Structure 1
């Protein structure tokens, strides 16, 4: 009986340490509780595994997850924990097997569905990813990231009505989230609702001024109908975002349209200073042919080659 009381005290202190983000202290306390319980308490063992994983000691975490499974072969948390480790190590086949095992044991395991869907998406299995996300959403329709992620897959596949449905739901869940606003801008533009798209992108920028893609997509709307406005948007993005090569590249294209070739050349050079591997893409862009034939650009490229 005394040992049971002491175990409980160690566990309570360990959870308090976790709340205070003192992982090593929590690990020590859970380990003491584990010893007193003869290493037979699955809950304690799972907590130890989680802490080791958080500390970057994934091999030790695996050992503890497997200890939990030797005690209870139907411990879904252990399968999920192992799946996460294999997922992070990009061993996706094993991660998929383990996520599915966790779901088989616990059919309402939300996190397992979410990360299984994500692995399918990474592996190019879009339809399986959609099925898995939609299953998760049937269990929890208010999952912001599931709505967002599956909406992005639908949008990439050109299933714009379904993307709109999921992006709208995500925005309903988090009305001021910059990514939800950005995604609604994307889909509104696809539906030719230009003013709505502009509104969504502007709101996205207000919510997160350092998300470069909002500036890019907003500027593209103005590219041909109000090029100088587009340049203004890209300039604002360059001022607010930290060295984003594609903003300089796109502003170069905009400057080219209004005959500001020297400014265009300077922006291309800046883009390459940030991301040298962008050169091949730039040289293949017919829109920039006049700029890449300028002496200032050729001299920069030659100097870069000679330096290497």
Structure 2
């Protein structure tokens, strides 16, 4: 009885420390619970695993999750926790098995569905990823990231009507998310709704000035019809997103289009310094033909 009272006191203090992100203090308190309970308090074991994982000690975290499963092989949190570690390690096959076990025990485990879908996506199992995201959305239709991620997979597969619906739903949930605005720009451009695409890209930039792809996609719209406008957009991107090699590469191509080869050369050299593997593309890019003939480029390339 005395031990139970002491365990509850330590548990209460441990939870408080954990919520305040005082991980070492929480770890020590959960260890006391572990000792007093003779390693039988499953909540303390799960929390020890979680803290060790947060501290980057994944092997120790795995050991505690497995210990929890030795006590209760239907402990969904342990399967999920183990799956998350294997997921982070890139062992998607093992992660997928464990996420599925967690879901088998708890068919309403929203987080497990989400990360299972993501693991399927990363491992190339696109159809299973779609199926899993759709299942999650049947349980929780207002999951912003599930709508957004599923829309991205549909867009990759050129199922653009479905992608449009998912991005629209995501924007209803969070109208100010830069990534949802960006993705809607992509779809509108595919549908040749150019003005709408421009509007979404501009709103995306307004919400996050450091997302380089918004600048790139917006600039490309102006590449041949208003090249200087495109250069201005890429320049803004370069100012707000430091050391983004492809923005310099693209601005170089834009400068080449308006016969400003010296500026184009400066940008392509900067791009190559940031990402030397671009050289293969530079040597084959028709838009940069005049740039390649400049002595400044030849001198740089010969080093």
Runs of 4+ that moved beyond 4 A = none
Matching residue of 1:117: 117
1:227 lines up with 2:214 in the alignment:
no
Matching residue of 1:5: 5
Number of aligned positions between the proteins: 303
Task: State the shift of 1:21 in Å.
Answer: 1.0
Matching residue of 1:144: 144
| Cα distance in 2 for residues equivalent to 1:128 and 1:298 | 50
Task: State the shift of 1:143 in Å.
Answer: 1.0
In structure 2, runs of 5+ residues without a counterpart are none
| Cα distance in 2 for residues equivalent to 1:14 and 1:142 | 33
Task: State the shift of 1:290 in Å.
Answer: 2.0
Per-residue displacement from partner, 1:7-43 (whole Å, max 9, x unpaired)?
Answer: 1111111111112211111010011011112211211
- The answer (yes or no) to whether the contact 2:33–2:41 under 8 Å persists in 1 is no
Matching residue of 2:196: 196
Task: State the shift of 1:252 in Å.
Answer: 0.7
| Cα distance in 1 for residues equivalent to 2:296 and 2:75 | 65
Q: Counterparts in 2 of 1:1-308, with a 5 A limit?
A: 1-303=1-303
Task: State the shift of 1:185 in Å.
Answer: 0.7
| Cα distance in 1 for residues equivalent to 2:123 and 2:287 | 34
| Cα distance in 1 for residues equivalent to 2:96 and 2:186 | 31
Task: State the shift of 1:114 in Å.
Answer: 1.0
Per-residue displacement from partner, 1:188-238 (whole Å, max 9, x unpaired)?
Answer: 111111111111111111110011100000000111111110011001111
Task: State the shift of 1:273 in Å.
Answer: 1.2
Matched residue SS, 1:40: coil
Per-residue displacement from partner, 1:66-92 (whole Å, max 9, x unpaired)?
Answer: 111111111111111111111111112
Task: State the shift of 1:284 in Å.
Answer: 2.1
- Of 284-293 and 238-247, more deviation after overlay is shown by 284-293
Task: State the shift of 1:116 in Å.
Answer: 1.1
| Cα distance in 1 for residues equivalent to 2:284 and 2:113 | 42
Q: TM (normalized to structure 1)?
A: 0.96
Matched residue SS, 2:74: coil
| Cα distance in 1 for residues equivalent to 2:19 and 2:282 | 50
- The answer (yes or no) to whether the contact 2:249–2:268 under 8 Å persists in 1 is yes
| Cα distance in 2 for residues equivalent to 1:227 and 1:70 | 65
Matched residue SS, 1:259: coil
In structure 1, runs of 5+ residues without a counterpart are 304-308
| Cα distance in 2 for residues equivalent to 1:283 and 1:12 | 65
| Cα distance in 2 for residues equivalent to 1:152 and 1:240 | 25
Matched residue SS, 1:175: coil
Per-residue displacement from partner, 1:76-114 (whole Å, max 9, x unpaired)?
Answer: 111111111111111121111111111111111111111
